[in-house]
Structure 1
């Protein structure tokens, strides 16, 4: 399949029609390049805060509430785009409010409609301490016509047991939508995405927000590059980089992957990390502590 990963800028929007036109253009561009699966970033939905005006967009709480309120309308738009263009789309994640809980949710759409959603599992300090956003209720494996897909949202990609659980359940492809305000944060997520592809002998796809959005303090600075990664093994690029865009360069990064190669690598790769994962606990439990002998001088 051909995958398009977005390096997505957050724009000030004067009205809903402007947003629809922007997303229609982005989807048409990716599909025009042959993409079967389009991956948008974490908190890409926060540009919808601009529709509430400067006072709403400039306030952390008001922005969250406004974007959460537009969630049904946004999902209708992405369902229509996926159907119209006959593609799968991981829509930009954004806040949702369920009862007393505030979650960071990414939804996956097929041409036939919404498949389901993945809520971010582990919150960053900003989400916990400034925004009161909570972790979701576990992980989701999306069994699609393209293949078996897991989603680890941004910080989640830095925790190996999450991706491991998804891959043990059958995931061949990990989608990593991200939003990071500094190159250090982008690097952590990119390194995490590459490490998860290495450990699980699978494909990972990072799609970040890029560029400034000074009108919304929740997402005012955005650094990153879109990329697709695989295990550096036979049949894959020796660097593990399938494709990668330039830092802070808006647009799609598009590449074609064969998920049959995931099955091949796991069964008969040069190394068998996925298979040998279970050998770690025995070795880790057998740790010894050796003390340096004091000098007799």
Structure 2
């Protein structure tokens, strides 16, 4: 057995593809389909970048011990009234660019699954098909369709038609490398399509195969669902920044393994970095902590790209001009970032840390939903959440940091109220544990939770999920955005519609947000004080 085949005996890990994977995917596609590569019918960089831009959650890679050995490309299509009609690969995929992707349609279409030749037979393809089935269920799509190559038809072309060959394979009378596998994976042969793709093995034919989603709910066709992971983060002493990187990376990896769209960290979860240094006062401590701002942003951005998730990075102090701000960085899978500065500063923050409030409150467009961020105390001001809801926010993330139950309950109760008032989801994540040697951050109290409007289409008590208090964990929950919009339009109560704007109006004076940045060292560098030299080990 070759060395390469010995490797694939290890566990197959499927994750979302990212832009960083594109060079490896191009090489893999050529290795998987050398005959098609000769005719230049393989994925190029522009194709793969388009897939990730248009439908990132539908693009998967399979890894064995960190090496990509398989991949799947998927889109959602509307096939019209003649659903099982003949079509071509180029037509159904918009020449491979997926510009015809329609998330509201009911059919998940498998544009391609490709596995390295030396990894075939070890469960890579099965793992990718299972990822597609999970996605189909999550998105509440009616089925998966795909056009499959008739890999071994060339050996039987003299004796039978493509239709006869495919039927014999489906009946188990003949074996085909591709179609036999697809039948074992629960797909049914619907027809054979001519002129699907230039492929000598198949004589340009393809099987049209279908997997029906047993959990499909036609009343919620095209449902928009997102998965949120709230990290209930344990404060602990550190000896190096690398240790902090491993800890943060672990939680993002856990969330990504659960197919989360969003990962929320707590406010000031980076304060544990101060356990590596001795400071004389809280003011000196916050200045020391601000020196890590650039490295924290770079870490979160790298993890978002690697795992294909949107990370709401809690918050971290940073210099903006002459002011110290408490800033949440939102890092998206394509490498772009957005910021939310804490607006309302507590007396404690002003007294001990000299924090100043920000002036902008943007809605942030992410691949999965429109979101807003209210950092801890900001959640206690109804007008802030109302402004975000009026700008289209569907989920409001509240990273918090509280040191006692009373403080936590203020954030919790107000966040639940914001969900009801504005008919949005509100997700909370806080720190737990203690840092005995860090002034003003010695004790933490936290309980992650996700709140919903209180109506029949949501969970009982208006709580989608909540963690046990003061225990390190990750709270993971699915949220149905269609339920949210249904409640806004025709819920038991409709507070967004029934507002008395003749009596009360919200006049927001928040500043225009800074544009998202792709390079945290570029645009962000113009507004932050990066002049302090950063010690590789912190401090």
Q: TM over 0.5, yes or no? A: yes
Please give the per-residue CA displacement for 1:150-204, whole angstroms capped at 9, x wherever unaligned.
1011010011000000100110100000000110000010011100000011100
Of 334, 346, 356, 1:124 maps to 346
Shift of 1:279: 5.0
SS in 2 for 1:252: strand
In 2, Cα distance between the equivalents of 1:102 and 1:201?
Answer: 33
Asked whether the 8 Å contact 1:115–1:142 carries over to 2, the reply is no
Map of 2:477 onto structure 1: 255
In 1, Cα distance between the equivalents of 2:482 and 2:387?
Answer: 20
Question: Structure 1: which 4+ aligned runs deviate by more than 6 Å?
Answer: none
* Unmatched runs of 5 consecutive residues or more in structure 2: 1-225, 505-539
Map of 2:233 onto structure 1: 8
Of 226, 231, 248, 2:453 maps to 231
Distance 1:248 1:280, change over 3 A: farther
Q: Give aligned pairs, total.
A: 280
Map of 1:94 onto structure 2: 316
SS in 2 for 1:73: helix
Shift of 1:28: 1.0
Shift of 1:92: 2.6
Distance 1:68 1:266, change over 3 A: same
Of 61, 71, 78, 2:300 maps to 78
In 2, Cα distance between the equivalents of 1:186 and 1:131?
Answer: 20
In 1, Cα distance between the equivalents of 2:473 and 2:391?
Answer: 32
1:49 equivalent to 2:252? Answer: no
Shift of 1:280: 8.1
Map of 2:251 onto structure 1: 26
In 1, Cα distance between the equivalents of 2:499 and 2:341?
Answer: 26
Shift of 1:62: 2.1
Of 47, 60, 65, 2:282 maps to 60
Shift of 1:49: 1.6
1:198 equivalent to 2:420? Answer: yes
Q: Which has the higher contact order (CA 8 A, sep 6+)?
A: 1
Asked whether the 8 Å contact 2:386–2:422 carries over to 1, the reply is yes
Shift of 1:11: 1.7
In 2, Cα distance between the equivalents of 1:211 and 1:200?
Answer: 32
In 1, Cα distance between the equivalents of 2:237 and 2:370?
Answer: 35
Asked whether the 8 Å contact 1:27–1:81 carries over to 2, the reply is yes
Asked whether the 8 Å contact 1:42–1:93 carries over to 2, the reply is yes
Shift of 1:80: 0.7
In 2, Cα distance between the equivalents of 1:243 and 1:217?
Answer: 33
In 2, Cα distance between the equivalents of 1:50 and 1:103?
Answer: 21
Where is the helix percentage greater, Structure 1 or Structure 2? Answer: 1
Map of 2:76 onto structure 1: none
Please give the per-residue CA displacement for 1:7-58, whole angstroms capped at 9, x wherever unaligned.
111221101111111111111112122211000011111112223x2x13x6
Asked whether the 8 Å contact 2:283–2:354 carries over to 1, the reply is no
Say which is worse superposed, 183-192 or 125-134, in terms of deviation.
125-134
In 1, Cα distance between the equivalents of 2:251 and 2:423?
Answer: 30
In 1, Cα distance between the equivalents of 2:431 and 2:406?
Answer: 14
In 2, Cα distance between the equivalents of 1:155 and 1:105?
Answer: 13
Map of 1:155 onto structure 2: 377
Asked whether the 8 Å contact 1:200–1:274 carries over to 2, the reply is yes
In 2, Cα distance between the equivalents of 1:132 and 1:105?
Answer: 14
Map of 2:162 onto structure 1: none
Tell me the TM-score normalized by structure 2. Answer: 0.51
Please give the per-residue CA displacement for 1:257-287, whole angstroms capped at 9, x wherever unaligned.
01122111111111001222335836xxxxx
In 1, Cα distance between the equivalents of 2:436 and 2:455?
Answer: 42
Quick check: which has more Rg, 1 or 2?
2
> What's the Cα RMSD here?
1.5
In 1, Cα distance between the equivalents of 2:287 and 2:304?
Answer: 26
Please give the per-residue CA displacement for 1:136-157, whole angstroms capped at 9, x wherever unaligned.
0121110111111010110100
Shift of 1:130: 2.1
In 1, Cα distance between the equivalents of 2:253 and 2:297?
Answer: 18
In 2, Cα distance between the equivalents of 1:85 and 1:43?
Answer: 23
Shift of 1:76: 0.7
Give the 5 Å matches for 1:100-139: 100-139=322-361
In 1, Cα distance between the equivalents of 2:289 and 2:318?
Answer: 8
SS in 2 for 1:113: coil
